[in-house]
Amino acid sequence: MHAPVAPAVHGLDFETMNAARFVRDATYDGVFFIAVKTTGIYCRPVCRVRQPLTRNISFYPSAAACEKAGYRPCLKCRPESAPFCPAWNGTRTTVERACRLIDDGALDGDGTVEALASRCGVGARHLARLFQQHLGASPVAVAQTRRVQRAMKMIAHTQMPMTDIAHQAGFASLRRFNEVIAARYGRSPTALRKLRPHSVT
């Protein structure tokens, strides 16, 4: 289920991130995510749930990387509420630009990684390498995570029909939307809506 080695996390060392999560340092919100081996759940550094033991956690540089490693998003801190692809160290200009374009739907519908890469002035393979290096996941995986995140916000905060949410979030079909949400959260979109929305302050 879990990747044997977690990717590097923006040049941050384990102790720095571990200290940050114990004080729930909002500076790091969106910069790293905490995956808990014993529960299979991943959280934001600001999560209010009881702190897991240090020996049970790994850190990842993106929600997409946590999901690639087999973890599910926490329903308390809601990783979809974390900043998406935050600026960090000022060295990720291309990745940040690509993230903004993905956020705007560049990989939804007919969008391709090639077209995205050329809009960022690099080749598709180079963009894939940069994503791996900085986010620990491919552009396609990041786009999928973003679709799920958009959908989760609408599920929690609107009464929109699921068909509309699937479409607006960028999914190709309602069926695909249902499949992806069930795989990520282990529940249907309708079951997720019945849970009370949480916010983290």
- Give the interface with Zn ion as residue ranges (CB under 5 A): 43, 47, 74, 76-77
Instruction: Provide the angle, in degrees to the nearest 10, between the axes of the packed helices 139-157 and 162-169.
Output: 150
Q: Please indicate whether residue 120 is annotated as part of the active site.
A: no
Q: Are 139 and 102 in contact (CB under 8 A)?
A: yes
Q: How far apart are CB 94 and Zn ion at their closest, in Å?
A: 30
In whole angstroms, give the CA distance from residue 59 to residue 126. 24
Q: How far apart are CB 88 and Zn ion at their closest, in Å?
A: 21
Q: Are 56 and 36 in contact (CB under 8 A)?
A: yes
Q: Please indicate whether residue 43 is annotated as part of the active site.
A: yes
Q: Are 145 and 33 in contact (CB under 8 A)?
A: no
Residue among 77, 85, 99, 120 flagged as catalytic: 77
Q: How far apart are CB 129 and Zn ion at their closest, in Å?
A: 30
And the tokens for 141? 């995986």
Residue among 43, 66, 99, 120 flagged as catalytic: 43
33/171 with CB nearer Zn ion = 33
81/144 with CB nearer Zn ion = 81
35/106 with CB nearer Zn ion = 35
Amino acid at 37: K
**Across-strand partners of 157?**
none
82/107 with CB nearer Zn ion = 82
CA geometry: angle 118, 124, 125, nearest 5 deg: 150
Residues with catalytic annotation? Answer: 43, 47, 74, 77
